[in-house]
Every structure is written in structure tokens, then in C-alpha cells.
Amino acid sequence: AKAAGRNQIKFFDPVMQDSLTARAALESELHVALKQEQFLLLYQPQTGRDGQVLGAEALVRWRHPQEGLISPAVFIPVAESTGQILTLGRWVLRTACEQLVAWQRSPAHAGLALSVNVSARQFHHPDFVSEVLTLLDETGAAPDRLTLELTESLFIDDLDNLVGKMKALKARGVRFSLDDFGTGYSSLSHLKRLPLDQLKIDQSFVRDLLVDPNDAAIVRTILALGKSLDLEVMAEGVETAQQREALVAHGCHLQQGYLHGYPGPADAVLEGQAGRR
């Protein structure tokens, strides 16, 4: 009776009631948003040696009719738990491929690559590989310019299945990056088995790189790991020139962060580079 009482209290907890209502509202608004395509992609530059722009990461935003631009941190988790991420993820991938094609046709942008975030639930869908391959055919996007950013949350599931799907896409030339590296669950044996191209050092380690010796050690370790496994290593969340220099001193030339450019419209991705010259 006591336990039931506790449950009851919890169930009628006004805070929880509110958040449930808010979530349900968000879910139904997302439903409308998906129908009306109230989304857009912003593109944040990714830079190489000497800061030249090599490509960009596509980052989704929800252009809400009343609320304005909504961060993916608000709606991606909801879309993941409702399954709406499948529809949203398809839209993101198609829009990104269309942008790649637009760049391929523009002399100034022709060499640019594009990284796209893929949720675990999306990647695990049985049709994911065939959908991406079809999309590449339909749009004419160059597969070797497309990098799919995966997170360690994928590894909770069947690794053989995961490796098989990655290999099927790699056979076409698609590249893979392991996002937020160092924050999740991945063992060295995972890293060895997965056909990855890139590790992305999580921004939490970059943030305190100059002040926290532990973070500096982690960054150095990830770079050494990348070297021995023959993987590119990209640092994200680079905000200051000091962070950029410290990373370069450790041999990390692939960088992304506000220092190099904010997420913005596709046409602006080369702007920082032009400004530097």
C-alpha cells in the first residue's frame, strides 16, 4: 500500500505531469513539422592544415512557426524516443546529399565534404543501407564526400550486424566518423573491428585542454590511438586560438568549432577562409 501510495504521488506529481504534457505536445508538433518540413540544415566548417575549409558538418534546426529556431538538443531526443527520427533522418540525409551535389557543381565548393549525424535508431533500421545507397544514386552525391557521424550508443547492439552495414556502405565509398569520442562506451576491440575513418574528440575534452591536465592527456591519447589505428582525428568545439595551437602542437590539424566558423547557411561555409586571407 505504501509503495502504491508512493507511485500515486509520483504519478500525480505536477512537475512530472507538466513534463509529460510538454513531451506529448512536442511530439504532436513534431508530427506537423515533419509534414510541413519546418526544418533546415546549417553547415559548420571543418578545417585542415592552415585553417583551409575541407568541408562541413550538417546540423539540423527546427524553424518553429511561433518559437523560432529550436535546437536539436530539444527535439532530437524526443524524435529518437518516438521513432520520428526515422522520418527526420531521411529528410536530413536527402537535404545533405542535395547540398553536396550543389557544391559538386560549384567550382569554388567542388572539393567540399559533408558530415551528417545519424542516430543509432536510424542506423539500426533494416532499410538504412539500401535507403542511403538509393539516395546516392538518385541525387548523384559523391559517396566519398559523405561522412556519417555515428556515436558509441550504437555499440550496445549486435556488433556483427553493425559492422556488416558499415561495410556495405563503405564498399560504395561512404566514410564513417565516431562522434563524441571518449564520452561513451567503446572498447579498443570495438575500434579495431569497426571500419571507421575518423574519430571525433568530444568537445568536453577540448574545452579544458589548456587548464585540465587530464583532458590534455585524454586528447593526446586519442591522437596516439588514431595514429596507431590509422584513423583521422578531428577535434570539435575549438573556440580559441590557444586551443587551436595546442591541438596543432599535438598533431591535430582537423578541427571544427566557433573559432573556425559557426553553423550557418551553406553559402557561408567558405567565408571564414576568405576572411583569413
Nearer to ligand C2E, 42 or 112 (CB): 42
* Positions 114 through 153 that interact with ligand C2E (CB under 6 A): 117, 119
- Residue 215 engages ligand C2E in binding (rule: CB under 6 A): no
Q: Could you give the C-alpha distances from 34 to 9, 124, 193, in angstroms and in order?
A: 36, 21, 36
Compute the Cα dihedral for 44, 262, 264, 182 and give only its sign. positive
Which amino acid belongs to residue 129? V
Alpha carbons 191 and 125: distance in angstroms, whole number = 22
Q: How far is the CB of 89 from ligand C2E (least distance, A)?
A: 6
Task: Work out how close the CB of 214 gets to Ca ion at its nearest, in angstroms, rounded to a whole number.
Answer: 6
Candidate list 34, 54, 60, 270; residue touching ligand C2E; CB under 6 A: 60
- Residues from 180 through 199 that contact Ca ion (CB under 5 A): 180
Task: Tell me if 44 contacts ligand C2E by CB under 6 A.
Answer: yes
> Counting Cβ atoms within 10 Å, is residue 142 exposed (0-12), middle (13-18) or buried (19+)?
middle
Of 29 and 179, nearer to Ca ion (C-beta) is: 179
Q: Shortest CA distance to 252 belongs to which of 199, 179, 184, 207?
A: 199
Q: Footprint of ligand C2E on residues 234-263 (CB under 6 A)? A: 236-239, 257-258, 263
**Least distance to Ca ion, CB of residue 154, Å:** 13
Helix (H), strand (E) counts: the chain: 12, 9
Which of ligand C2E, Ca ion, none is residue 208 near (CB under 5 to 8 Å by kind)? Ca ion
Residue 59 binds which of ligand C2E, Ca ion, none (CB < 5-8 A, kind-dependent) = ligand C2E
Based on CB atoms, which residue is closest to Ca ion, 117 or 186? Answer: 117
Q: Stretches 13-21, 45-53, 175-183, 223-231: which one binds Ca ion (CB under 5 A)?
A: 175-183
Q: Where are the alpha helices (DSSP H) in the chain?
A: 2-11, 14-36, 72-82, 85-104, 120-124, 128-139, 159-170, 188-193, 203-207, 213-229, 241-249, 271-276
Binding site for ligand C2E (CB under 6 A): 44, 59-60, 71-73, 76, 92, 117, 119, 179-180, 203, 236-239, 257-258, 263
Binding site for Ca ion (CB under 5 A): 117, 149, 179-180, 208, 212, 215
